[in-house]
């Protein structure tokens, strides 16, 4: 007996939990590479190494297309499922993050900008998405990645950037819909903002 696939914004209760394999342990203190990444902002690209203030970048493997069935091979990869809930968590908490000192928020995947533009519009994201389709930025920073159906995808993680340097990283992220809340909690505790 087969069951209908869940929509991309739903998270099954039996997802495998990713473990911390140390793949992001080297990030804090890393100087960002000066690489311009295509953005969903019209005719724009972003060099994350040159941005002022505190920037949060959350990385995700791929968002599903509308009405896309999610294959079982995706759900068995620890940490793969949940890109849309992760993006929506940052959407829903973007005002609070701004009030806590975050200057910019970006989502980043290896999907192309055209695909990301549809996602940004469909999910009403108040921030831009960046494409690292050639994995230049992912490889330069040594971010964890995995293979799926012949494509190399970045694993879900997030970083805080200040002055062109990584000042905090989150990895693994689970459940993915708590990603933005983890950033809020760090800002309130470690950055000494009132609760």
Any domain includes 86: yes
Any domain includes 163: yes
Domain, as residue range, for 168: 36-40+51-63+82-190
Tens-digit pLDDT profile for residues 71-129: 888 989 999 999 999 999 999 999 999 999 999 999 999 999 999 999 999 999 999 99
Any domain includes 20: no
Any domain includes 149: yes
User: What's the structural domain count of the chain?
Assistant: 1
pTM: 0.91
The CATH number of residue 153's host domain is 3.40.30.10
Q: Where are the beta strands (DSSP E) in 95-156?
A: 102-109, 128-131, 145-148, 151-154
Which residues have a Cβ under 8 Å from the Cβ of 31 and sit 6 or more positions away? 49, 164, 165
Any domain includes 182: yes
């Amino acid at each position: 007996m087969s069951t209908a696939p869940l929509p991309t914004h739903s998270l099954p209760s039996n997802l495998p939990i990713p473990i911390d394999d140390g793949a992001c342990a080297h990030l804090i203190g890393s100087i960002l590479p000066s690489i311009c990444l295509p953005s969903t902002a019209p005719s724009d690209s972003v060099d994350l190494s040159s941005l002022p203030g505190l920037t949060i970048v959350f990385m995700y493997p791929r968002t599903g297309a509308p009405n896309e069935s999610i294959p079982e091979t995706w759900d068995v990869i620890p940490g793969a499922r949940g890109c849309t809930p992760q993006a929506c968590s940052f959407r829903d908490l973007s005002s609070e993050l701004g009030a806590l000192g975050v200057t910019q928020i970006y989502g980043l995947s290896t999907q192309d900008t055209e695909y990301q533009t549809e996602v940004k519009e469909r999910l009403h994201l108040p921030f831009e998405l960046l494409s690292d389709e050639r994995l230049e930025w992912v490889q330069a920073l040594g971010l964890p990645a995995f293979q799926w159906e012949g494509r190399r995808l970045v694993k879900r993680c997030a970083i805080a950037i200040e002055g062109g340097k990584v000042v905090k990283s989150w990895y693994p992220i689970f459940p993915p819909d708590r990603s933005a809340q983890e950033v809020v909690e760090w800002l309130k505790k470690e950055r000494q903002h009132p609760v």
